[in-house]
Structure 1
Amino acid sequence: MLREPDPARCRDLAADLRDAGFTAEALRDAWGQAADDAIARGLRSPASRGLGDREDPLAVLGRLLVLGMPQAAASVDRALVRTGAEGLTRLGLASAEGGEVRPLALVRPQSYADETGSGHWWVASDLDEAALGGPLPEDHVLGVGGASLTLAGLQLPTPAARGLDIGAGCGIQALRARAHVDHVVATDISARALAFTRLNALLNGVDGIEVRQGSLFAPVEGELFDRVVSNPPFVITPRVADVPAYEYRDGGMVGDDLVAAFVSGVGRHLAPGGVAQLLGNWETRDRIAGLDRVRGWIESSPVPLDAWVVERERLDPLSYAELWVRDGGTLPGTPGFARLVDAWLDDFGARGVTEVGFGYLLLRRPLDGVPTLSRYETLHAALAGDGLGAHLAAALDAHDRLGTLDDAALAASVLLVAPDVTEARHHLPGADDPTIIELRQGGGFGRALGVDPGLAALVGACDGDLPVGVLIDAIAELLEVDAGALRADLLPRVRELLFTGFLRFVPGG
């Protein structure tokens, strides 16, 4: 049982981890990149082999707290001078008996970086499948995974007063939000998850995080927030006997009803101008596309909302079922795997589900109550890199500014091409003119956009010197086309390029 974390012991443990150089980079150097990658796939023996017989503090803590392997109590006492084996047991992170310390939780270092700087956290969570040697218990508290890192990177890096993290789990989103939000309320239905959230806040010296137990918005009824973030338990799970209902991923509702409930309820808890960001699954049912169903949820919200929804992936029912059965620690070929897959397929079949989408939702309560943003798109390419939160914030700023500009005002604006944009031209052998001109984005969502010579020329000429209208007139003369017609064609596309980050307004202009 994870105990109520003692602040003094958490400070001691943090100091010991710091003295040991317990960082993600140091561990990766110690056991090698390939072994580090294998840990994410549930394989810990390559990392253990990489450490060999080393008994320095980094190696001992790597085995104990990252790989979940028992260590000699004497080695732990030497590695954690202030905390020792006794301190770990009093924090509920380990047990000690017969000169051996057995981990009861993992504490893994996690690096982070955004445009405001970089650093690392130590994140405690429950033992994973590799450490347990089998399926997870239903009250398992998940550590930092790919989805949680994605959402952390999507969070807007702009200041706000009050934040809300729904379904906090180990607290990674609350930690990330606290970097830009003055006070964060973290909620979860699981008392164990909230204990990990408190522990991780103390371990990383982060104040201003308040925890409350309850489902969805129940713990914050009647309250408003400037920022809401959630990696909710959105995984679609059959509501039948003998199918494990893991608290960290299963919200106890049918199909995608949990995401629908979040969308329908979040507007009442957003202050004017407040933004909610979450991950979610949505079903394509009875020939109604998943994104269209999401649009319906948002349009029926009792509080009008701006919306930007990005679908990143679609899976057929079988692939989805296999993914989440394996995630729970039941592997192909083991008892129960086929039975669990069949339960998922029966559940999908009963609702006429043919696909399941996964993606990101950004919802905003307009300051004046009138939505102006309604964007639903599919972007299946890999993410371009860090800084997506800043990219989203810049897109919202561009959208709001464009809403104040008619075409004449836009034509009078001076623009810059973003520094991460490159152009590719493809020619047939021996041809002077390209058959394809493509603009590519190195950051943001890594978009690639086919353009015609007129738009390519305009983007290339946006160097912060002349207004857009003057550039279009010059291009029209060069191409020997009507300047008015070219303006009518290019200005709407310039608006899209400003929103998606290919172009930017000149600072201060």
Structure 2
Amino acid sequence: MKVAPLFPAAVLDQLGQALRDRFGSVAVTEVLGLPGEAALSRGDLSGADRLTRQGSETETLIRLFLLGLPVSRAAAGAALRPLPLAEAEAAGLVEESAGQLRAALDVRPYSETDGPDWWVVSDLGAEVRPGPLHPEHVLGIGSAGLTLAEATVRGPVRRALDVGTGCGVQALHLSEHSEAVTATDLSERALRMAATTAALNARSWDLRQGSLLEPVAQERFDLIVSNPPFIVGPGFGPTSGGFRYRDSGLPGDSVCAELVRGLPGRLTEGGTGQLLANWIIDGSQSWQERVSSWLPATGCQAWVWQREVAEPGEYVALWLRDAGEQPGAPGWQQRYDHWLDWFAANGVAGIGMGLVSVRRTGDQDSQVVCQDVPQAHEHPIGDAIEDWFGRGAWLRGRSVAQLLDARLVAAPGLVRSTHSVISAEGWQPALVQLRQSGGLRWELEVDDAVAALVTACTGEPTLGVVLSVLAAAVSASVDEVTAALIPVVRDLIERGFLVPVDLAPVDLVPVDLAPNAIDGGQR
């Protein structure tokens, strides 16, 4: 179906010119500075208000669209030119407020690091318009969406899909490295918001209305991303106290299960799907078993991160506040009790929150790795996820003999830390750790043998040679050392502490093993 933007073409053209002229990321940063931007990011609108009172046109647009404050008609007219105020009001961009004008929608500049300016259109949040949100509220740029954008694998692809596009943030990112972008949403209002975002940024997307993957049945994509309505609960929907952008209307974590199950079938061979998800933690099984059960036994490689766990009361309060509700307000206690009663009746002890990344691998047995990843990591992290898929594919099916013939190199930036405890004999080493200074920033406790193994992996000797030297150093048989350390080596490769030479960046590979040296420069 053809989805029309919220505004006529003439309004879009004139609004776009006003935004480009005086409401880009650099212009806003020059007005707010780091203190003002920090205040805005934490929802301290008063902190940003103090910095926008000099009356410049950029300040007027900040007050209008980012702070939700009323401005004079004269100031609005100057800031929005060449868009006439009458046309802005008729289109529903601004509205009358006690003789002044205020924004009816959130319009804000946004960009990738060192990328071009974009503008995103959404509904105004609860921090700007206090009180409960409308059930059909279209969410703007939020922390969850930013998390997904930073985690997305960004290689060039032919076809990309954004499931549950909302205002179109993920589709904007996809359009930078995809030949064609399709975006779906159940909400017609959200699709019109996305169409408006696309038009303001001179983008063309195939927008389709429908639930999850239904609008793209029988189609396949090289990359699929989704920030779905993942909230775990009794099955709230827009007509039963829920909100379209976050509540699916399905009970428990079934919406995430449905989407994860459907991803492999909608991916091309080698294609990647990534989504944010929440899942139930109960006494019947581990969270790893629960999420693994959503994926097929063959045909995919998956990496699931559990970033944090919330207990039921904490989780409910978080999402009630997210929707603009406040303790003591009408309906808070009723909804709070209903939600927690459902959790209690269904044995929910906690809710896991995280990221699911899936790659279609053909007919091979599936590899599903579920890990707690609570640590702070490098941003963006999409390249590290792509590297994990590459190392996993390298490891899959590789025998012990093949591993022993492999050449490995220690990842750059590894840090070894030794912690000691005091005793009668003085300081005694008690704990040795290896830590990554970039990427996922994994931290592992190791013994001297593993630390020595990592040190010896310079890309020149084979792993078999390294283990033979270690065996001699500890007066053990090579078979014993091999049996003990091969599982450790696999884990070190999977986590990126050790990298196979054929996957390593050129600057990590010894000169005599670099590709140009091996094949005479023919690649």
Same-fold status (TM-score > 0.5): yes
CA shift at 1:26, angstroms? 4.8
Kept in 2, the 8 Å contact 1:385–1:444? The answer is: yes
* 1:180 aligned to which of 169, 177, 180: 177
Label 1:16 to 1:428 Cα distance change in 2 as closer, same or farther (>3 A).
same
Aligned equivalents of 1:417 and 1:205: distance in 2?
Answer: 45
User: Bigger shift: 319-328 or 459-468?
Assistant: 459-468
Aligned equivalents of 2:476 and 2:277: distance in 1?
Answer: 47
Aligned equivalents of 1:21 and 1:472: distance in 2?
Answer: 60
Residue equivalent to 1:463 = 458
CA shift at 1:239, angstroms? 4.1
Residue equivalent to 1:375 = 369
CA shift at 1:432, angstroms? 7.4
* 1:420 aligned to which of 398, 406, 413: 413
Alignment of 1:487-506 (within 5 A): 487-506=482-501
Aligned equivalents of 1:153 and 1:262: distance in 2?
Answer: 20
Q: Which runs of 5+ in 1 are unaligned?
A: none
* 1:268 aligned to which of 262, 265, 269: 265
Aligned equivalents of 1:420 and 1:83: distance in 2?
Answer: 52
Kept in 1, the 8 Å contact 2:253–2:278? The answer is: yes
* 2:306 aligned to which of 307, 311, 316: 311
Q: Does 1:410 align with 2:409?
A: no
CA shift at 1:463, angstroms? 3.3
Aligned equivalents of 2:247 and 2:331: distance in 1?
Answer: 19
1:140-163 deviations in Å (ceiling 9; x for gaps): 000111111111111111222111
1:369-425 deviations in Å (ceiling 9; x for gaps): 22341211122223x121311111011011112226433333333333222321111
Amino acid at match of 2:32: W
Residue equivalent to 1:36 = 37
Paired residue total = 498
1:146-195 deviations in Å (ceiling 9; x for gaps): 11111111111122211111111111111122222221110001111111
User: Bigger shift: 288-297 or 436-445?
Assistant: 288-297
Q: Does 1:278 align with 2:280?
A: no
Kept in 2, the 8 Å contact 1:438–1:451? The answer is: yes
Label 1:362 to 1:78 Cα distance change in 2 as closer, same or farther (>3 A).
same
CA shift at 1:299, angstroms? 4.1
- Taking only aligned residues, the RMSD between alpha carbons, in angstroms, comes to 2.6
Aligned equivalents of 1:240 and 1:121: distance in 2?
Answer: 33
CA shift at 1:39, angstroms? 3.3
User: Bigger shift: 188-197 or 120-129?
Assistant: 120-129
Aligned equivalents of 2:289 and 2:5: distance in 1?
Answer: 45
Label 1:86 to 1:489 Cα distance change in 2 as closer, same or farther (>3 A).
farther
Residue equivalent to 1:255 = 252
Kept in 1, the 8 Å contact 2:23–2:61? The answer is: no
CA shift at 1:270, angstroms? 1.9
Label 1:93 to 1:499 Cα distance change in 2 as closer, same or farther (>3 A).
farther
CA shift at 1:290, angstroms? 3.1
Kept in 2, the 8 Å contact 1:387–1:443? The answer is: no
Q: Does 1:148 align with 2:150?
A: no
Amino acid at match of 1:371: D
Residue equivalent to 2:378 = 385
Kept in 2, the 8 Å contact 1:3–1:92? The answer is: no
Kept in 2, the 8 Å contact 1:31–1:47? The answer is: yes
CA shift at 1:57, angstroms? 1.9
Kept in 2, the 8 Å contact 1:68–1:103? The answer is: yes
Aligned equivalents of 1:216 and 1:260: distance in 2?
Answer: 12
CA shift at 1:431, angstroms? 5.8
| Secondary structure of 1:71's aligned partner | coil
Residue equivalent to 1:105 = 105
Residue equivalent to 2:521 = none
Amino acid at match of 1:106: D
Label 1:240 to 1:219 Cα distance change in 2 as closer, same or farther (>3 A).
closer
Kept in 1, the 8 Å contact 2:94–2:101? The answer is: yes
Q: Does 1:235 align with 2:235?
A: no
Label 1:168 to 1:483 Cα distance change in 2 as closer, same or farther (>3 A).
same
Aligned equivalents of 1:351 and 1:26: distance in 2?
Answer: 51
Amino acid at match of 1:202: A
CA shift at 1:438, angstroms? 0.7
| Secondary structure of 1:282's aligned partner | strand
Aligned equivalents of 2:58 and 2:82: distance in 1?
Answer: 15
Aligned equivalents of 2:16 and 2:183: distance in 1?
Answer: 22
Amino acid at match of 2:212: L
Q: Does 1:76 align with 2:53?
A: no
Label 1:480 to 1:219 Cα distance change in 2 as closer, same or farther (>3 A).
same
User: Bigger shift: 427-436 or 310-319?
Assistant: 427-436
| Secondary structure of 2:85's aligned partner | helix
Kept in 1, the 8 Å contact 2:5–2:199? The answer is: no
CA shift at 1:496, angstroms? 1.9
| Secondary structure of 2:128's aligned partner | helix
Residue equivalent to 1:481 = 476
Aligned equivalents of 1:417 and 1:5: distance in 2?
Answer: 55
Q: Which runs of 5+ in 2 are unaligned?
A: 505-513, 516-523
1:322-379 deviations in Å (ceiling 9; x for gaps): 1111111111232322222111111212222111111111122222x22341211122
Residue equivalent to 2:437 = 442
Label 1:100 to 1:304 Cα distance change in 2 as closer, same or farther (>3 A).
same
Label 1:4 to 1:407 Cα distance change in 2 as closer, same or farther (>3 A).
same
Aligned equivalents of 1:84 and 1:483: distance in 2?
Answer: 81
Kept in 2, the 8 Å contact 1:237–1:245? The answer is: no
Aligned equivalents of 1:452 and 1:314: distance in 2?
Answer: 30
| Secondary structure of 1:435's aligned partner | strand
Aligned equivalents of 2:299 and 2:459: distance in 1?
Answer: 37
1:235-287 deviations in Å (ceiling 9; x for gaps): 12434799521000011111111111112222332222222111111112453
1:70-115 deviations in Å (ceiling 9; x for gaps): 22232223223333534544553223578633201111223423xx
Kept in 2, the 8 Å contact 1:85–1:96? The answer is: no
Aligned equivalents of 2:359 and 2:162: distance in 1?
Answer: 16
CA shift at 1:215, angstroms? 0.8
Aligned equivalents of 1:406 and 1:293: distance in 2?
Answer: 29
Alignment of 1:41-120 (within 5 A): 41-51=42-52, 53-86=53-86, 88-89=88-89, 91-95=91-95, 100-113=100-113, 118-120=115-117
Aligned equivalents of 2:262 and 2:20: distance in 1?
Answer: 42
Kept in 1, the 8 Å contact 2:70–2:97? The answer is: no
Label 1:379 to 1:261 Cα distance change in 2 as closer, same or farther (>3 A).
same
1:295-324 deviations in Å (ceiling 9; x for gaps): 222247xx7433221111111111111111
Residue equivalent to 1:358 = 353
User: Bigger shift: 446-455 or 290-299?
Assistant: 290-299
